Amino acid sequence: MKKLVVLVLFIMATSLVSAAVSSEYYGESPKIIVSLANQDPDPVEPGKIVEVSFKMDNQGTLANNVVFDIEPEYPFSLLPGEAKTKILGTLGTSQNGERTVFVKYKLKVDQNAVDGSHEIKVRYKTENFDLWNMLEDLIIKVQSKDAILSVEKYTTTPEVVAPGSKAKLMIGLRNHASSILKDVKITLDLGKSGDEQTPFAPVGSTNEKVISVVDAQGYIPLEFSLMADPDAKSKVYKVPLKMQYSDIINKNYSKTLIIAVVVGAEPDISVYIDSTKVYTAGKTGEVTVKIVNKGLTDVKFLNVNLDKADGYKVLSPYEVYLGNIDSDDYETADFKLGIDKTSKGKTILPLTIEYKDANNADYKKKVNLELPIYTSSEAKRLGLVEGNGKIKWIIVVIVIVGGFFGYRMWRKKHRK
């Protein structure tokens, strides 16, 4: 019985010693919590310097010879002269009020860093602990100042849209940010632009395109099908293009740009002789040339020049300025000509016509007009000229004189 009591007392004593040892080595100890207290600026732009402050809070027992170390990886690097490892000494407890310390570093962000949240690795150790405590999931935010989405280029096919015709408008978007852009909405404002109404309507789709994501530095082509109004005037139309999108940190952007769409058509000019007062060789008369604008667009600054050639002489100015001719309208130019006596059958009148369309594109047209030349007998037979006028007057005079003398003789006879 005594032996049993002694054995029980021995076991109890051993347990108390073991508990004391466990308490000394595995019970109370330093309990350090590390967090990223601040980054300045927040967020930091690529290529800039950021100051980060780490907070070390000891919620356990006294920590001696505390050492803090940073392990920067891309896109971060330490500034020259900045110590990687910092010896902090003793970190107190809650009882003495010296349990918190801040550790600061200045880091350079790479110029090509992608926008977003980047992890920074740090570690620490204390006295009596040879192993480092590695800390992860500490985040530094990198963000370009503005996430820029731009129109890199745009084209219309055809380049000049004829009234009443279809065209394809291609718009190329470029994401200049180093992170994705999302919820991109592109809208063509086909209503009123300034003081004028844009003469376009979407065909086959709406005037709005939506893109869920545009990759960093990515390029996205968009295509709109448009139709110009049949009565659209030839000119340059300004079309507002509205862009709305968000960046990776959900910052919203909205801006309106202006693109230009040209409406116009190649002028359709007809030139012919409207009338003439010269029909036979050796005669002089006026020739009227008519210029008709049969096209959809107006023409401006129209000038007509009658070039020199054999068979005639120009007795008036060679050049006639007519100015503007509206669509479905005409103007005339008059030239006084002397037809050579040797001309037979026809005389060619070479004309050079220069003008601009409504969008100031230059045009030059050369035409050869045929002026018919008749013989005297042909002209009389066709009723283009009258017969010999002298004979007609002689007959008239003879009739008058004969009548006069006949009347006198009649009076004398009756007086007797």
Q: What is the pLDDT of residues 32-79, one digit of tens each?
A: 999 999 999 999 988 999 999 999 999 888 889 999 999 999 999 999
CA proximity to 310, closest of 346, 354, 278, 271 = 346
**In terms of domains, do 238 and 257 share one?**
yes
Q: Are 61 and 119 within 8 A, CB to CB?
A: no
CA proximity to 302, closest of 369, 367, 362, 262 = 362
- Any domain includes 391: no
- The backbone torsions φ and ψ at residue 11, rounded to the nearest 5 degrees and listed phi first, read -65, -40
**In terms of domains, do 274 and 368 share one?**
yes
- Any domain includes 387: no
DSSP 61: S
Last residue of a domain, one of 198, 232, 263: 263
- Any domain includes 388: no
**In terms of domains, do 290 and 374 share one?**
yes
- Any domain includes 274: yes
Residue 312's Cβ-side half-sphere holds a number of Cα atoms within 13 Å equal to 31
Those residues whose C-beta lies under 8 Å from the C-beta of residue 191, and which sit 6 or more positions away, are 197, 198
- Any domain includes 413: no
Q: Which long-range contacts (CB under 8 A, 24 or more apart) does 77-84 make?
A: 77/107, 77/108, 77/110, 78/105, 78/106, 78/107, 78/108, 79/49, 79/106, 79/107, 79/108, 82/106
CA proximity to 184, closest of 146, 157, 222 = 222
Q: In 3-state terms, what secondary structure has residue 149?
A: strand
Say which amino acid occupies 140.
I
**In terms of domains, do 304 and 212 share one?**
no
Last residue of a domain, one of 123, 142, 161: 142
Ramachandran class of 3: left when φ > 0, alpha when ψ lies in -120 to 50, beta otherwise: alpha
**In terms of domains, do 171 and 277 share one?**
no
**In terms of domains, do 179 and 252 share one?**
yes
**In terms of domains, do 86 and 165 share one?**
no
CA proximity to 305, closest of 365, 371, 373, 370 = 365
Residue 225, pLDDT score: 97
Rounded CA-CA distance 58/30 in Å is: 6
Residue 4, pLDDT score: 47
**In terms of domains, do 49 and 99 share one?**
yes
CA 68 from chain centre, in angstroms, equals: 54
**In terms of domains, do 105 and 161 share one?**
no
**In terms of domains, do 280 and 345 share one?**
yes
Q: DSSP readout, 334-373? A: EEEEEE-TT--EEEEEEEEEEEEETT--EEEEEEEEEEEE
- Any domain includes 280: yes
Residue 31, pLDDT score: 87
Residue 255, beta-bridge partner list? 243
Domain span holding position 186: 149-263
Tens-digit pLDDT string for the chain (416 aa)? 444 444 444 444 444 333 333 333 334 678 899 999 999 999 998 899 999 999 999 988 888 999 999 999 999 999 999 999 999 988 887 655 577 899 999 999 998 888 889 999 999 999 877 889 999 889 999 888 778 899 999 999 999 999 999 999 999 999 988 788 999 999 999 987 666 789 999 999 999 999 999 998 899 999 999 999 999 999 999 999 999 999 888 889 999 999 999 999 989 999 999 999 998 888 999 999 999 999 989 999 999 999 999 889 999 999 999 999 999 999 999 999 999 987 778 899 999 999 999 999 999 999 999 999 888 877 788 777 665 555 566 677 777 877 777 766 766 666 65
Residue 14, pLDDT score: 43
Residue 344, pLDDT score: 78
pTM for this model (two decimals): 0.62
**In terms of domains, do 164 and 133 share one?**
no
Rounded CA-CA distance 33/11 in Å is: 39
In this structure, what CATH number is given to the domain that contains residue 253?
2.60.40.10
- Any domain includes 195: yes
**In terms of domains, do 178 and 249 share one?**
yes
Last residue of a domain, one of 82, 113, 142: 142
Please return the burial class of 295, using the count of CB atoms within 10 Å of its CB with bins 0-12, 13-18 and 19+: buried
Residue 304, beta-bridge partner list? 320, 353
What is the chain's alpha carbon radius of gyration, rounded to the nearest angstrom? 50
Rounded CA-CA distance 72/108 in Å is: 10
Residue 15, pLDDT score: 42
Residue 18, pLDDT score: 36
- The backbone torsions φ and ψ at residue 408, rounded to the nearest 5 degrees and listed phi first, read -65, -40
> What per-residue string of b and e applies to 119-138 under the rule 16 or more CB within 10 Å gives b?
ebebbbbbeeeeeeeebeeb
- Any domain includes 377: yes
Count of domains observed in the chain = 3
Here the tokens at position 149 are 């989405």
